[in-house]
Structure 1
Amino acid sequence: MLTSVIAAREGSSIFPQITDVFPDQEVIDRTFINTREDSKVVDAVKATGRRQLIIAGLWTEICVAMPVIQALGEGWDVTVITDASGATSVEAHEVAIQRMIAAGADMMTWLALAAEWQRDRARLATAEKMTGVLTQHAAGSGVAHLWEQQLLKTLVPAAAG
């Protein structure tokens, strides 16, 4: 689920790098800082029938922490994607993460989440796309994956022992 804050205001729309990943997802425009106070967002979340929220966004100390802490208080299972969130400073980000952990939230990175969703490299419908994401966005992990694939394709001469 994607939300924006007063999208008509210049600089308030979501980056196309994010919306392009979810082309069929309608962006819910909101005015509330805490998305858990916006009935459009709350109703859309409830309509999914799910009980787990996975949240990332700007600003970690405000637009992420506020709904995370409220959702935890309402009994939701909440996971925050720490490296897909950002704050006004490193300290603000770290303190917000500490607050959310203290409130009961789980923390993950985007790569750990993607790997959990992929689970099995034999799931070919998504494995190729996952490889593309890894090589473009996972820094050393992407390079290591490419190297591993190259090694697996390298024939070893029978005389090598």
Structure 2
Amino acid sequence: MSYEKFTASNAVLLLIDHQVGTMSWVKSIDFEEMKRNALMLAESAKILNMPVVLTSSMEEHAQGPLLSELETLLPAEFNARIKRLGIVNAMDDENFAAAVHASGRKKIIIAGVTNDVCTVYPALSLVRDGFEVQVVADAGGSPSKMADEMALRRMETNGVTLTSTNQLIAELAGSWATPEGTQLVQVMLKSLQGA
């Protein structure tokens, strides 16, 4: 199978459950690193004018609200976020599934918290349904390194491509010499500076 690169014009970004409570349960990656990576993805999508679907689960409970920075970066997408009522696999939520299909894209980029619950099931469902899926492993995490490793291994074994935040941004940029590429370099520099 030949690989066709993911671009801003053929892919959609799904950010799943980057909620303050849920993120606090993650121990497999540093909280600030995971948060920074998720926000870098959101900022990159905004620069590239790439469609983004946001979803949350039970915001009024322990999971808490989505990151407020997402509302600042992507106000329209934040307001249109799909609020799931406890449905584990976001693709089993008809509103979320409809939003993904409405993008018209067959290439799906997923970052979710946690990788071992929130990310693994929609990723597997989308691959089963014929989509090409990349999971940004370092823009999410799990309650333990073992749980994270098992989830990533399960996804990869079932046809999901695993990637990292910087790797994905570089793929989407294609060239640093474009106006968008110049902005994306600045986004990536944030991760190197730990800012």
TM-score by length of 2: 0.66
Q: Where does 1:108-147 land on structure 2 (aligned, <5 Å)?
A: 108-124=163-179, 126-139=180-193
Displacement after TM superposition at 1:46 (Å): 0.7
What runs of 5+ residues in structure 1 fail to find an aligned partner?
A: 143-161
Q: Secondary structure at the match of 1:138?
A: helix
CA distance in 2, matches of 1:2, 1:58: 12
| Structure 2: 5+ residue stretches without partners | 1-52
DSSP-derived class of the 2:100 partner? helix
Amino acid at match of 2:71: T
Question: Which range is displaced more, 2-11 or 73-82?
Answer: 2-11
What's the % identity of the aligned pairs? 27
Runs of 4+ displaced beyond 6 Å? none
Q: Report how many residues are paired.
A: 140
Alpha carbons of structure 1 residues 134 and 46: separation in structure 2 relative to 1, 3 Å: same
Shift of 1:24: 2.1
SS at match of 1:3: strand
Does the CA contact (< 8 Å) of 2:173 and 2:181 recur in 1? yes
Letter in 2 for 1:95: M
Which protein has the larger Cα radius of gyration, Structure 1 or Structure 2? Answer: 1
Match of 1:22 among 61, 74, 81: 74
Q: CA RMSD in A?
A: 1.9
Give the Å deviation of 1:112: 0.8
What secondary structure is seen at the aligned counterpart in 2 of 1:50? coil
CA distance in 1, matches of 2:171, 2:154: 25
State the TM-score, normalized to the length of structure 1. 0.79
